Amino acid sequence: QAFGELINRYPVGKLPQAGGLNATLVVTMTLDSLMGGLKAAQLDTGQTISASLARRMACEAGIIPAVLGGKSEVLDLGRSRRFHSRAQRIAKLLTAGGCQVDGCDAPPGLTHLHHKIKWSLGGRTDLDITIMICAPHHARAHDPTYTLTPIPGDKFTFHRRT
């Protein structure tokens, strides 16, 4: 209980950041469920939790409403910025759900956002040409002996260059 209390009261400004986000919990559920329904919610890891647990977690947290398909945040940054924004990371988390390399089950908290076209080669920081991949696959994506190839289902695979 003491450890849980420490986590609840730890200053948000002092939390470490990974990929532009500090410890952010993304729970997907309907507004009706959040307001008192009995349906389940889903964490960004894929784990299902009860609506009541989601409400307790949200009690002292910042709630970010995600309107899929909405245009209220700028998600395409072009060449104006190299690193992806917090809004882009959250949007990609909701659509990709984790590492997009086929067969990898790394959750969003262990991933990086990667430019399909390298920044150094004129790539843009736009959401539609961004891939969510884990650290080991990100290293491989920058390895000149491999090619990252898209496959159906918004997934990717690596092929050794010959």
pLDDT digits (tens, 9 = 90+) for 128-159: 889 999 999 999 999 999 999 999 999 999 99
82, two tokens: 């190299």
Q: What is the pLDDT of residue 120?
A: 82
Evaluate whether residue 79 is within a structural domain.
no
Q: Establish if 18 belongs to a structural domain.
A: yes
What local confidence, expressed as pLDDT, does residue 20 receive? 53
Same domain, 109 and 155: yes
Q: Provide the CA 27 distance to its chain's centre, in angstroms.
A: 12
Looking at the DSSP bridge assignments, the partners of residue 126 are 76
> Do residues 50 and 116 both lie within one domain?
no
Residues 50 and 105 in one domain: no
In this structure, what CATH number is given to the domain that contains residue 150? 1.10.30
Report yes or no on 44 lying in a domain.
Answer: yes
The reply to whether 155 and 93 lie within a common domain is yes
If DSSP codes are grouped into helix, strand and coil, which group holds residue 137?
Answer: helix
User: Taking a C-beta distance cutoff of 8 angstroms, is the pair 148, 104 a contact?
Assistant: no
Q: How confident is the model at residue 25 (pLDDT cuts 50, 70, 90)?
A: low
Report if residue 65 sits inside a domain.
no
CA 161 to chain centre: 29
Question: In this structure, is residue 81 part of a structural domain?
Answer: no
**Separation CA 142–CA 136 (nearest Å):** 10
Question: By mean pLDDT, which of 37-41, 44-48, 129-133 is the weakest?
Answer: 37-41
Residue 152 belongs to what domain range? 86-160
Residue, of 13 and 36, whose pLDDT is higher: 13
H helix count then E strand count, the chain:
5, 7
CA distances from 1 to 4, 5, 7, 8, 42 (A): 5, 6, 10, 11, 24
pLDDT at 109: 83
Instruction: Based on the fold, state whether residues 53 and 91 are members of the same structural domain.
Output: no
And the tokens for 145? 């002996």
Q: Over the stretch 48-97, which tens digit does the pLDDT of each residue have?
A: 777 677 667 666 565 555 555 555 566 777 777 788 888 888 888 888 88
User: Phi/psi zone of residue 12: left (φ > 0), alpha (ψ -120 to 50 degrees), beta?
Assistant: alpha
Contact 34, 54 (CB under 8 A): yes
If one counts the domains in the chain, the total is: 2
Same domain, yes or no, for 52 and 115?
Answer: no
pLDDT at 2 over 70: yes
The pLDDT, as a whole number, for residue 72 is 54
Residue matched to tokens 């080991």: 136
Q: 8-22 pLDDT, tens per residue?
A: 777 767 766 555 554
Q: Which of 112, 72, 78 is nearest to 92 (CA)?
A: 112
pLDDT of residue 91: 84
Residue 93 lies in a domain: yes
- Does residue 67 form part of some domain? no
